[in-house]
Amino acid sequence: MTIGDNGKARGRAAADDVPDTDIDDDAAEEAVAPVGPEVAFTAIDWTPHAGDADGKVGAEVIQTLVKRLPNAPGVYRMMNATGDVLYVGKARSLKKRVTQYAQGRFHTNRIGRMVRETATMEFVVTRTEIEALLLEANLIKRLRPRFNVLMRDDKSFPYILITDDHASPGIYKHRGARSRKGDYFGPFASAQAVGRTINSLQRAFLLRSCTDSFFENRTRPCLLFQIKRCAAPCTGEISHGDYAALVSEAKDFLSGRSQKVKSEISVAMQHASDELDFERAAIYRDRLAALSHVQSHQGINPQFTEEADVFAIHQEGGQTCIQVFFFRTGQNWGNRAYFPKADPALEAAEVLGSFLAQFYDDKPTPRNVLLSHAVEEQDLLTEALTTRAGKKVSISVPQRGEKKDLTDSALQNAREALGRRLAETSTQTRLLAGFAETFGLENAPQRIEIYDNSHIMGTNAVGAMVVAGQEGFIKNQYRKFNIRSTDITPGDDFGMMREVMERRFSRLLKEHGDDQGEVIEGSASDGFPAWPDVILIDGGQGQMSAVRKILSDLGVEDRVTAIGIAKGQDREAGRERFFVKDKASFTLPVRDPVLYFIQRMRDEAHRFAIGSHRARRKKEMVKNPLDEISGIGPGRKRALLLHFGTAKAVSRAAVEDLMTVEGISERVAKIVYDHFHENR
């Protein structure tokens, strides 16, 4: 984003009078920048003077601010007295839109509550309404205001990557930042869908999937060549030109030109057959069969829809489900259900429209977007996605034919997914109510934290915390604690739990010390409370004594109910003994649903702790001594290992030998030498 001269002057003037807010000029620029590679626009981040709204709140403060607003498109942010962003909206005319809030007449209770809590507002003036729409979606995802429709998306989508940074490109599953040079194809709904597709594509195009280091060190073809899953460019079994042709065909196929690729392979097979080269013809035949497998084994595959995303929305019981199907190259690449946080009073069209803008904020847009319901400002959204994608994007609500069948199928899946969620939520509510009754709690707990430790003879010790609530396990709230203290005797479970409790609740007091256990919007996850009502400790009376001592020292013992779970005799499930403050220990009936519920939570904590410990142990096992040397980055480490072969050989090298390595100066050579010879 570029700031005009007037914007700079007004920004400097405002900065002298206004205290720091959640979003400054730099933050606004960061939020606007991702609009698209071809979009650069002038915007003014305008903040009202502190004196403008001093002591005012609600419609009164908005009436004060609206007087100075321009009749131009932009984005506004409504904030409460503590600076938390309540709502982010966009407008074709900021002055007209904000004036509606200032009038004090509201159609819904939601808007009334939002206005009453507003203490100040901030504005970004944009050049067009399209830019305002894109910026609004970006800020909603970043700030997560509690009065907006919030898309819950805590897991990125996997993609297929065909690299461009190697003479013999490889094909890989990729998730995360697209930092490696290459072509990305997706999104896929799951890692399993990517794995299946890559497996079939290897049979069809014989592309390598090994790492570059493995590739460079091959002297003979690996097993994948023997089972006809790779053309083995590593050992020259195929020429660079022929391998490049395979890579080009794979890209064409994944880009939607599947019929062209199949036609070319079919012609080549016929040509080989005419020349009586039946062995080569058989290879082409197998490749055609593999391509057919890719296009037929993934469920519902349309005949005339090459590239589309299908969205269907269903509302019931105050909740919303949006089902998304991905179709690329005429194949179904999977589906995913979303349950956005939205006011139950909002209509499906408004929820779906806001969801779409946020969904494509960081994902590639297909040429066709098919919807089960028409959305508000559909033409504006179409134009915005076209601008971001740099290609023509069509948004439509099909009324007949194959596309209507696709949206109907997605809608049916949305109904079933929401039905399952409502049933699970109802069951979870009953279990939490039973849990409260069993342990004498005043109310059903909204947040339960379960703790466990994992280590082997005290090594690579890890503490784990999992979180459960009314929606089941809240996985984006899980935390692991690498045990750092050097004073703990290896294997001292009491000491490890003491460190975990100190770190967890010290940070909780620092970040949410004034919350008093209430639900804080955005403090944890879309209105999920930051403070636990209950903590479950996998341990007996000894563990509980250590935990209660920490809670007492921190002054939070009365805010949290701590419960210990000791394994039964012979560690038999169903005989667990429970320890609660001021009560004698007790067991539950073997078939009690609450007991099963607690066992499931404890087992999840155990699974997460074991997984975290194994990951840390694996990392420790492959740790290289060169990693510990200050000033030795990946490039120099690679150069040293390529020259000497092993870290042990590096440790034995003299300074003069180290200096012969490219990129190793005398100063760096002495650092490396001294690291391995400090005791001499």
Buried b or exposed e, range 580-599, using 16+ CB within 10 angstroms: beeeeeeebeeeeebbebbe
pLDDT over 50 at 361, yes or no? yes
pLDDT, tens digit (0-9, with 9 covering 90-100), for 256-277: 676 677 777 787 788 777 778 7
End-to-end CA distance of the chain: 57
- 448-610: which CATH architecture? 2-Layer Sandwich (3.30)
pLDDT of residue 441 exceeding 80: yes
Percent share of the chain, pLDDT over 90? 12
From the CB of residue 146, how many other CB atoms can be counted at a distance below 10 Å? Answer: 20
> Cβ distance 388 to 35 under 8 Å?
yes
Q: What is the pLDDT of residues 383-426, one digit of tens each?
A: 999 988 888 999 999 998 888 989 998 999 998 888 888 888 88
- Mean pLDDT across the chain, nearest whole number? 79
Contacts of 573 (CB under 8 A, 6+ apart): 599
Of the pLDDT bands very low, low, confident and very high (cuts 50, 70, 90), residue 30 is very low
pLDDT at 430 over 70: yes
Of 109-118, 467-476, 627-636, the one with minimum mean pLDDT is 627-636
Question: What pLDDT score does 42 carry?
Answer: 41
Please tell me the predicted confidence (pLDDT) of residue 293: 62
β-pairing, 459-469 vs 472-473, is: antiparallel
- Residue 301's pLDDT is 58
Most confident of 55-59, 132-136, 278-282: 132-136
Q: Which of 448, 429, 434 is nearest to 561 (CA)?
A: 448
Q: What is the pLDDT of residue 679?
A: 52
Residue that wins the pLDDT comparison between 48 and 16: 48
Look at the domain 308-328+335-419 and name its fold: Nucleotidyltransferase; domain 5 (3.30.420)
What is the mean pLDDT of the segment spanning 469-485? 85
Residue 28 in this model has a pLDDT that exceeds 60: no
Of 333, 328, 334, 323, the closest CA to residue 368 belongs to: 328
Does the structural domain 625-676 have CATH classification 3.20.20.100?
no
Give the CATH number of domain 5-143: 3.40.1440.10
Residue that wins the pLDDT comparison between 619 and 128: 128
Residue 665 has pLDDT above 60, yes or no: yes
What is the domain partition of the chain in residue ranges?
5-143, 159-296, 308-328+335-419, 448-610, 625-676
Average pLDDT over residues 358-371: 88
d(CA 298, CA 335): 11
**C-alpha separations of 193 from 158, 189, 190, 306 in Å:** 9, 7, 5, 18
User: In the predicted model, what is the mean pLDDT of residues 244-262?
Assistant: 80
Q: Reply yes or no on whether the pLDDT at 483 is more than 60.
A: yes
Helix, strand, coil tally for the chain in percent (to 5): 45, 20, 35
Judging by beta carbons within 10 Å of its beta carbon (0-12, 13-18, 19+), is residue 478 exposed, middle or buried?
middle
Averaged pLDDT for residues 141-161: 83
Look up residue 670 and give its amino acid: K
Q: Which of 181-195, 213-227, 247-261, 551-565 has the lowest mean pLDDT?
A: 247-261
Closest by CA to 134, choosing from 305, 357, 413, 287, is: 357
Note the pLDDT of residue 9: 35
Residue (of 324, 285, 604) closest to 466 by Cα position: 604
What pLDDT, on a 0 to 100 scale, did the predictor assign at position 171? 92
Cα distance between residue 204 and residue 229, in whole Å: 8
pLDDT band at 534, cuts 50/70/90?
very high
> What percent of the chain has a predicted confidence (pLDDT) above 70?
82
In this prediction, residues 606-611 reach a mean pLDDT of 88
pLDDT in the model for residue 26: 37
pLDDT of residue 55: 56
**pLDDT at res. 297:** 44
pLDDT in the model for residue 313: 94
Q: What is the rounded average pLDDT of the residues 581-602?
A: 87
Distance CA 71, CA 54 (A): 24
Q: How far is CA 249 from CA 265, 292, 391, in A?
A: 9, 15, 23
